[in-house]
Chains A and B, each alone.
Chain A
Amino acid sequence: MDALMHQVFSGLASGCIYGSIALALVMIYQATHHINFAQGELATFSTFIAWALLQRGWPYWAAFIVTVAGSFVGGLAIQRLIVRPVERAPVLTNVIVFIGLLVIFNSLSGWLFDYTIKAFPSPFAQDSALATRFFSAHEVGSVLVMLCVLLVLWAFFRFTPIGLAMRAAAQNPESARLVGIRVSWMLAMGWGLASAIGAVAGMMIAPAVFLDPNMMTGILIYGFAAALLGGIDNPAGAVAGGFIVGVLENLLGAYVIGTELKLTAALLLIVATLTLWPNGLFGRNVVTRV
């Protein structure tokens, strides 16, 4: 029983990370109806920046904040310089651009920081008060950090004028322009936020899986599965999907299929979701009277 509980809780901890990556995907999907395949590599690159800062002796939380802020600006810049010129281009053009970004950032990480596997520190000491029977201190800490991120995001979208403008721009760009919202900049903000969330997720998962340029490849697949399962147009659903995928992955890995096939299970889940519940479990059907 203890072993089972441990698997469930550790699944919740990684599910939190998947949920955040899913949230970053949903954020860009809602605004543009494109899936950003480079989301994982961007997060890895951000994590490397944090690692480099820590190597230079920066205190952890200073490196954390600078990395998150830098990733926000970086995401904003990528949208302005690379994605915006193809904004009106067909879907396939966008997909190619995203895959290009994926390859570029993967190689950039390898080129700047080489391919050796690196240990990444956790800000939560193993013997701290956070550690409980079923959770390690880092697991509790990363869940708390991710929940804080979610809370801040929720408040941002719910209560600030710019959050409202971003939702409006995502939903009805033409109408948003007619009330004076600069829609293109709202998309750039979305990219910035998604990159910042990715950076937090990367720094939280790195202590568990170690840092290398391909760190996020598998996690992005879990993120996809989470986003689709929760409903690709529903931020809260994406987070819930993350928890479900995390727990499922851990239980299947421990008791049913073994660790080797965990990623395959995630891919199967993606296919099953798309065929059986294309809207996801919590996908919204907007009710409209005409």
Chain B
Amino acid sequence: MPSLLEARALTASYGATQVLHGVDFAIEPGRITALLGANGAGKTTTLRAICQMVRTGGALSFAGRPLTGLATEDIVRLGIAHVPETRGTFTALSVEENLRLGAYLRRDKAGVAQDIERAFTRFPRLRERRAQQAGTLSGGEQQMLAISRALMLRPKLLLLDEPSFGLAPLIVREIFEFMRRVNVDEGVSMLLVEQNATHALELADTVVLLETGRVVVAGRADDIRGDKALRRAYLGY
């Protein structure tokens, strides 16, 4: 199967500091890929590199098209939605306006209205707060809003940066269950960055393990879950 996203010898740097030192991986369409690793391994930078939010080198392609050199806003036009670490909430705008912004590139008004309705049905708490400033939502609600906003694009690939960060275990479970449903029902491919390896390994089909800017292991999630030595060495459990 041809891969959806492919990175070959991908490098990335912030000013003089190089963070990725030649990363290779591929994402198959329809799958959930987890990007795991310790703090500072370059997980967030990999996501930022895909969206060209950092200076990159090497080759990066999405559905056969090279991404390097494109502007971030043009990468979104290819169908890549990114939920950043900070969730990217427009805090002073209302919940509904946040959702409408997610569909900024779409021209099918009826479809957008339908998708907003669907987001509200999935997360009734967002409906209750539709006119409220998004900054006043709780952390979990903001994460639900962030993922819902990203899905408003109807993306082919969803990049998620630590959706479990700072959330109560029950909410994390709800959000991960939601991501699984989106993946199964709508076939949205996902690249998921996580600290929480247990949750990520349960959800993901494939895993890419990073250490200080290089890929150390890549393979099926089941295999890695079963490999005790590997888990001890890199995932700490």
Q: Is A129 an interface residue (CB 8 A)?
A: no
A179/B91 in contact, CB under 8 A: no
Given A161-B100, A164-B100, A168-B90: A180 in contact with B139 (beta carbons within 8 A)? no
B104/A181 in contact, CB under 8 A: yes
> Which listed residue (B82, B104, B166) contacts A161, Cβ 8 A?
B104
> Which listed residue (B77, B102, B136, B153) contacts A289, Cβ 8 A?
B136
In angstroms, Cα B133 to Cα A177, docked, is: 20
Tell me the total A-B contact number using a CB cutoff of 8 A. Answer: 80
A180/B51 in contact, CB under 8 A: no
Name the B residues within 8 Å of A81 (CB-CB): none
Contact flags B62-93 to A (C-beta < 8 A → 1, else 0): 00000000011100110001101000111111
In angstroms, Cα B77 to Cα A168, docked, is: 18
Name the B residues within 8 Å of A1 (CB-CB): none
B97 closest partner in A (C-beta)? A164
In angstroms, Cα B84 to Cα A171, docked, is: 16
In angstroms, Cα B100 to Cα A65, docked, is: 32
Contact flags A166-192 to B (C-beta < 8 A → 1, else 0): 011001101111111111000000000
In angstroms, Cα B104 to Cα A165, docked, is: 8
Measured CB to CB, the closest approach of chain A to B118, in angstroms, equals 18
B90/A182 in contact, CB under 8 A: no
Given A164-B101, A179-B104, A181-B73: A286 in contact with B88 (beta carbons within 8 A)? no
Given A177-B72, A178-B51, A179-B149: A289 in contact with B135 (beta carbons within 8 A)? yes
Measured CB to CB, the closest approach of chain B to A25, in angstroms, equals 19
Measured CB to CB, the closest approach of chain B to A155, in angstroms, equals 15
A175/B73 in contact, CB under 8 A: no
Q: Is B53 an interface residue (CB 8 A)?
A: yes
In angstroms, Cα B221 to Cα A135, docked, is: 77
In angstroms, Cα B97 to Cα A172, docked, is: 14
Q: Is A112 an interface residue (CB 8 A)?
A: no
> Which listed residue (B84, B104, B137, B166) contacts A180, Cβ 8 A?
B104
Q: Is B138 an interface residue (CB 8 A)?
A: yes
A286 closest partner in B (C-beta)? B92
B90/A172 in contact, CB under 8 A: yes
B88 closest partner in A (C-beta)? A175
Which of B88, B133, B142 counts the most chain A CB atoms within 10 A? B88
In angstroms, Cα B133 to Cα A167, docked, is: 14
In angstroms, Cα B142 to Cα A179, docked, is: 16
Name the A residues within 8 Å of B133 (CB-CB): 286-287
B104/A288 in contact, CB under 8 A: no
A175/B84 in contact, CB under 8 A: yes
> Which listed residue (B76, B137, B166) contacts A179, Cβ 8 A?
B76
A179/B84 in contact, CB under 8 A: no
B146 closest partner in A (C-beta)? A175
Given A174-B53, A178-B88, A179-B149: A289 in contact with B73 (beta carbons within 8 A)? no
Name the B residues within 8 Å of A92 (CB-CB): none
Name the A residues within 8 Å of B149 (CB-CB): 179
In angstroms, Cα B139 to Cα A76, docked, is: 39
B105/A180 in contact, CB under 8 A: yes
B52 closest partner in A (C-beta)? A177
In angstroms, Cα B136 to Cα A182, docked, is: 27
In angstroms, Cα B97 to Cα A182, docked, is: 18
Measured CB to CB, the closest approach of chain A to B156, in angstroms, equals 14
A168/B101 in contact, CB under 8 A: yes
Measured CB to CB, the closest approach of chain B to A33, in angstroms, equals 15
A178/B93 in contact, CB under 8 A: no
Q: Is A290 an interface residue (CB 8 A)?
A: yes
B104/A289 in contact, CB under 8 A: no
A167 closest partner in B (C-beta)? B93
Given A175-B89, A179-B104, A179-B149: A288 in contact with B97 (beta carbons within 8 A)? no
B92 closest partner in A (C-beta)? A286
A180/B77 in contact, CB under 8 A: yes
In angstroms, Cα B81 to Cα A175, docked, is: 11
A178 closest partner in B (C-beta)? B82
Measured CB to CB, the closest approach of chain B to A165, in angstroms, equals 6
Residues of A within 8 A of B (CB): 161, 164-165, 167-168, 171-172, 174-183, 284, 286-290
* Contacts A175-B89, A183-B73 known; 18 new A-B pairs at CB < 8 A: A161-B104, A168-B93, A168-B101, A172-B88, A172-B91, A174-B84, A175-B88, A176-B90, A177-B72, A178-B76, A179-B101, A179-B105, A180-B105, A182-B73, A288-B135, A289-B135, A289-B137, A289-B139
6 A-B residue pairings within 8 Å (CB atoms): A168-B90, A175-B89, A176-B90, A177-B71, A180-B105, A181-B101
